[in-house]
A and B are shown apart, each in its own frame.
Chain A
């Protein structure tokens, strides 16, 4: 494998559309739950250990070659908010387009045919990692990192937060991202033998509720 391929896939400039999504930060800022670096960190920590862990586990399992249809159904069951399911599929479709152009692969083509409207983004991420010659741990790290880097960069725009402060939040969360990626790879391996019920199902109530509140707004800066 090429370690540099991980940097390409994880780069915020990889053209997969993630910059248009705030990961729930816009709703939390509007509701006054994120007001600065400290509450951003608390938000990101909560997202990392819930939606981030689930996404990283899905990505790890997909990177290990687990059936994507079963993983996609498991992602649906772990995403009760329809606004978040729609966002995840939209992001999955955009990532699919970018990944197929970057790392042409039969497997990516097959998933694209199976899910013309897009599969859940972490599932596509795992398959893309395979196509790039990366492993489950790389896919898990990408998903865990994205689960917090999205809200952090969105909050810089939403609150005019100092970008240095936002980046420091990410750095402080690094040890927890390591643990989440480890757990996700373990879960991904368990899925290979035991099926998708082995995936974690950690949830964050205000992320789900906030996503619906956000989807009901007439005007918003971010898509989700």
Chain B
């Protein structure tokens, strides 16, 4: 971690590899400062890692990067100990949070961090890029909460791009808060909801048997993408209801096999 004029730069890296005994080892597990990493009890073939926020942030001017590579046949589950809160900070300028994930053939990644909360006055740009091999598997959850309870949100933009076998199957950006292009909170965008989330599921079997589109009430839908992947998109009044919708959708996807 380095503190530079204008903010903190922090990098966390994880490499997950088959250990040859039916489990997954972590030859690289490097985190620092706000991105400290802890390995927790494994379950079966899967290695589990928790991102432990050792300080608050990202603040204005900070730049965090998290990279995880799941090698062939390895299985990794990453969560976080608490929600991430974007705060204004003393340095001027936006904060950046970049997530770079790759899943090789036969690998599986569950990327399930807690919510990202955009506090008043913050300005955060998140990019998430995932590359999944043709027989790789992914479950990725993103949840954005606009403001703490009763608080106006900051500026938040979040772009996610997911490629499977070299083809981009999802590329979308959400921009909200003060300074975002107009209408973000209106009847086409969030409709006044304060929590918005996505769940991306990539499974090779979706190539032959894509999931059927379905709606979960008026504020969530399971969307089969153009490729072996599905997106669950949901908006809700608050973080708790959003999590309920995403959990319900994931259960529905799991019950398909």
Q: Which residue numbers of A lie inside 8 Å of B, CB to CB? A: 24, 28, 31, 33-34, 39, 42-50, 53, 73-74, 76-78, 80-83, 85, 176, 197, 199-209, 212-213, 215-216
Contacts and interface: CB of A to CB of B under 8 A. Distances in A.
6 contacts: A43-B188, A50-B189, A197-B168, A204-B188, A213-B215, A215-B213
B218 A213 contact: yes
Given A73-B167, A201-B159, A205-B196, A80 B172 contact: yes
A80 B186 contact: no
Nearest to A35: B187
Interface of B: 159, 161, 167-175, 181-184, 186-191, 196, 213-215, 218-221, 223-226, 231, 233-235
A209 B236 CA distance: 12
A205 B173 CA distance: 10
Given A77-B169, A200-B173, A202-B181, A209 B188 contact: no
Main secondary structure of the interface of A (DSSP, over half): helix
Q: Is the interface of B mostly helix, strand, loop or mixed?
A: strand
Contact of A49 (B170, B183, B224, B225): B183
Report, nearest first, the 6 A-B pairs whose CB atoms are least far apart. Answer: A46-B183, A33-B187, A46-B188, A42-B186, A45-B183, A49-B181
A181 to B, nearest CB: 14
A213 B221 CA distance: 8
A46 B215 contact: no
Contacts, number: 132
Contact of B183 (A44, A77, A203): A44
Given A28-B187, A209-B221, 11 more contacts: A42-B186, A44-B188, A46-B186, A76-B225, A77-B168, A77-B225, A80-B225, A201-B172, A202-B172, A202-B175, A207-B188
B16 to A, nearest CB: 26
A48 B183 contact: yes
A31 to B, nearest CB: 6
A213 B196 CA distance: 17
Contacts of A216: 215
A11 to B, nearest CB: 25
Contacts of B173: 200-203
Contacts of B196: 205
Chain B CB within 10 Å, residue with most, of A47, A50, A53, A205: A205
A203 B174 contact: yes
Contact of A46 (B184, B213, B226, B235): B184
Contacts of B213: 81-83, 212, 215
A49 B169 contact: no
A208 B184 contact: no
B233 A209 contact: yes
A74 B191 CA distance: 27
A30 to B, nearest CB: 9
Contacts of A45: 182-183, 186
A44 B234 CA distance: 21
A141 B250 CA distance: 40
